[in-house]
Homo-oligomer: A and B are copies of this chain.
Amino acid sequence: MEGMIVDGPGSFPTAVRCLPAKEDKYDGIEVDILKFPSSDVSAFEDSLRLSLEQWRSQKKKGVWLKLPIEYCDFVPAAIKGGFTYHHAEATYVMLNLWLGDGPCTLPANASHTIGVGAFVLNDKGEILAVQERYGLFKDKWKMPSGCLNQGEDIFAGAIREVKEETGIETEFVEVIGFRQSHGGAFGKSDLYFLCVLRPLTSTITVQTAELVDAKWVPLAEYKAQPYLSERKMLGRMLDVCIETSTAPARKGFKLENVQAGTKRAPQYFYNNTSQ
């Protein structure tokens, strides 16, 4: 096969060419499969083999191969060529291959999902509470909560969840604490941010797809629910919310936009110091 290998301008249709790729900042290679002129698996295999020879001789450290879902036929060939999976999203899988001498220094996959819960107390001392249609807490009153959307800020996610579940408009006061836990869905870890929000409206509209009911519950009645004594973390979280709601000095992390006043995108730093 060596006689057929041609790489560079002037090659002819039957020749094997390197995969289209560019170098990254870290002495690595990013393959651009969209520019590969064939959907034939054996053509891909030949090009991959030639490319790897070349990248190894050039002392490249790592290779990234992003295969959009339409290129799924190339996945087995890449794995057999030495690649492993790195991560995937609905529309693509990212594979990589470490060519360096030492341990792999390629960046890790995302490790955490992020949840937000909202403590919303009105001026009658009632807490905004929901009853979920499914899951562990389905006959209990609990705080509105949910998962952050991709690219969503913590404060914005808390406001959105309250609005979606109950129709109540709120403004963000502070993050009053967070819990980290491990071994969740797919072996990932989770961070749950407990947010204090101030209600701006009072009339509830229940989102019935996920909820059975939502209402303003007197705080003492809410706190008396047995599951809050049985599940220490949830009971402790409520106590922290109650303590901070009655204390003269807030003890949470406020939202500080470090880019405020500039034309740059906001950059949020949550902390509890004077600004």
Contact = CB atoms under 8 A, between A and B. Distances in A.
Contacts of A154: 180
A202 interface: no
A215 interface: no
A156 B123 CA distance: 40
Given A79-B69, A236-B258, A269-B233, A253 B209 contact: no
A79 B72 contact: yes
Given A185-B107, A188-B110, A236 B256 contact: yes
Given A76-B73, A233-B269, A240-B271, A110 B107 contact: no
A223 interface: no
A243 B275 CA distance: 11
Nearest to A233: B258
Given A102-B209, A177-B270, A256-B236, A84 B69 contact: yes
B267 A179 contact: yes
Interface in A232-275: 232-233, 236-237, 239-240, 243-244, 251-253, 256, 258-259, 267-274
Contacts of A177: 253, 269-273
Contacts of A12: none
Interface residues of A, number: 72
Contacts of A270: 177-180
Interface in A128-173: 134, 147-148, 150-151, 153-154
Interface in A70-116: 72-73, 75-76, 79-80, 84-94, 102, 107-114
A59 interface: no
B232 A258 contact: yes
Nearest to A268: B180
A129 B159 CA distance: 38
A186 B91 contact: no
20 contacts: A69-B79, A72-B75, A72-B80, A73-B76, A75-B75, A84-B90, A84-B91, A85-B89, A86-B88, A86-B90, A87-B186, A94-B186, A112-B112, A112-B114, A153-B180, A176-B273, A177-B272, A179-B268, A237-B269, A240-B269
